[in-house]
Amino acid sequence: MTLTLIFVILIACPLEFTGAKWTYNGPDGEHNWSSNYPFCGGAFQSPIDFQTQLLRYDPNLPPIQVQNYNLSTNEQLTLSNNGHSVQLSLPSQMYISSFPQRYSAAQLHFHWGSSNLLTGSEHTVNGKRFAGEMHIVHFNSDKYPNISMAVDKHDGLAVLGVFIEIGEFNPAFDKFFKYMNGIKYRDQKIQVAAFNIHALLPARLDEYYRYDGSLTTPPCYPSVLWTVFRRPVTISRKQFMALATALYASNAQESTTVPLHGNYRKPQITDNRVVLVSFKDGLYGILSAESPFQRKQVIQKLLVGDLADLADEGLYQLLPKLGSQPGKDKKLKKSKKEGHWSQATRKEQWSKNKVQSNTGYSSSVGKNTPTPWYMGAFDTAKGICFVSLEENVMHQLDKYHAKGLMVEALREVVFPELNLRSYLHCRSDLDLQTIRKLVQGRSRDEAAELEQSLAEAMLKKMRRQINQHRNPNMKTTIGHPQATVPKDFNSALTYHRPQRAEWED
């Protein structure tokens, strides 16, 4: 069999681990998901903990608007138990109208705790876990014909997340909760009358958290634009118990029944992401999001600009978490070596990278030159297909008998572009790994000076944290105590990407 034929088979057919068994606990639990689903150990995973220091206020975030959510009772919806959750099918005429592109509804499902542990939301707020969480899943119907085609694309999905607390009885949820006995076992389905889905949402649709993330179940593609509402909805304790005690993750034919509860994934690492919020009240001194234009200027400087000037003046755009404002620290001195390019040199370098894109940016590309990796972040028409990327990486590693490196390889390949895309949309800070990849090929002296300047800036930040740790009454720029700083802060200056054991928790 030729190499070309093997490659065609890999692209056309599902991978050998597609559809592998997974659970939330036990040998097939989330700590082993990445063995069969490598993206589960990769970048930009969900859920996350909405910690106050991650939040950035964005006054341009509009209230969420949905259309055609009030369904006719003459319609029928499919209520099912898929062994992992309760799922309710939704018609695609329902859609979110407050996004630049149309995202049509596909289904909603739930995550919850157990009768002994009344906490089961996936996202948390400063460590607080709610009783449950509802996800209303939408796909980008402007670009993709259905959810199956959209699920592995970087802009494929948008999910509305709703926290659930135990409190007053909720008649909207009872429209289908009362039918739980009809789907007690895995793969059971029943038809229920449609109703007003809008009634499941909280009253305030103008207050929410927004960030780039992933599916919270295998295959964990980082394809989700998350919108999680700040205000929870309530259901009664009896309604919660209908979820927590009446359902099984096993089939009716199995001799041993497996309860379906505790179906939530633990918080994932943030990967330099920030969380945009549409509200400011109650968040003392919260930072505001920078403009996309400012961020594009930073990237332009990294690609073809004067790195020495950027090292002196742009560090707080690169690393906004440093806390100080530009100009408050003494400017770093330029190296005595030639630490900048002449105007002619910059023009020559820019001309080498010249090609038109719909963003006004350029890239190094010709008839025989591949498009640079970072152009995908500027060209919004270019998409990332995660499943084909996964297949191609696996095929490459297989030649070297190195399948065990799949998670690490995917993370190294996928993370920089995801980080850059998210940075340009103000939903991430710029990662040092991405910065280093952007300045590859630049003057060695310039790149070294930028690296040194970043290290010095990080050292200043850590020293401030140590001083604040010694005086816990001091506040950060967002009004909360700083986290504990490692004793050996000098060793922390070396950039550290979490190892597999760290990010699989």
Phi and psi at residue 453, in whole multiples of 5°?
A: -65, -40
334-345 as b/e: b if 16+ CB within 10 A? bbeeebbbeeee
d(CA 73, CA 62): 30
Do residues 194 and 124 touch, judged by C-beta distance below 8 A?
no
**3-class state of residue 435 by DSSP:** helix
Radius of gyration of the chain (CA): 24
- Put residue 76 in one of left, alpha, beta given phi > 0 → left and psi -120 to 50 → alpha: beta
Phi and psi at residue 451, in whole multiples of 5°?
A: -60, -45
Do residues 170 and 238 touch, judged by C-beta distance below 8 A?
no
d(CA 62, CA 139): 19
The separation between CA 117 and the C-alpha centre of its own chain, rounded to angstroms, equals 27
Do residues 205 and 418 touch, judged by C-beta distance below 8 A?
no
Task: Return the closest-CA partner of residue 353 out of 274, 441, 459, 285.
Answer: 441
d(CA 396, CA 389): 11
Do residues 228 and 165 touch, judged by C-beta distance below 8 A?
no
CA 66-202-427 angle, to 5 degrees, is 70
Task: Return the closest-CA partner of residue 365 out of 379, 356, 378, 305.
Answer: 356
DSSP state of 416: H
CA 262-264-265 angle, to 5 degrees, is 135
Q: What is the DSSP string of 355-414?
A: ---TTS-----BTTBPPPTTHHHH-TT---BHHHHHHHHHHHHHHTT-GGGHHHHHHHHH
- The helix or strand, by DSSP H or E, that contains position 359, with its residue range, turns out to be none
**3-class state of residue 267 by DSSP:** coil
Do residues 36 and 19 touch, judged by C-beta distance below 8 A?
no
Do residues 383 and 389 touch, judged by C-beta distance below 8 A?
no
Whether residue 100 is preceded by a cis peptide bond, meaning omega within 30 degrees of 0, is: no
Task: Return the closest-CA partner of residue 172 out of 70, 66, 63.
Answer: 70
Q: Is 154 a catalytic residue?
A: no
DSSP state of 314: -
DSSP state of 21: -
Longest dimension (CA), the chain: 77
**Active-site annotation holder among 31, 84, 395, 425:** 84
Residues marked active site are found at: 84
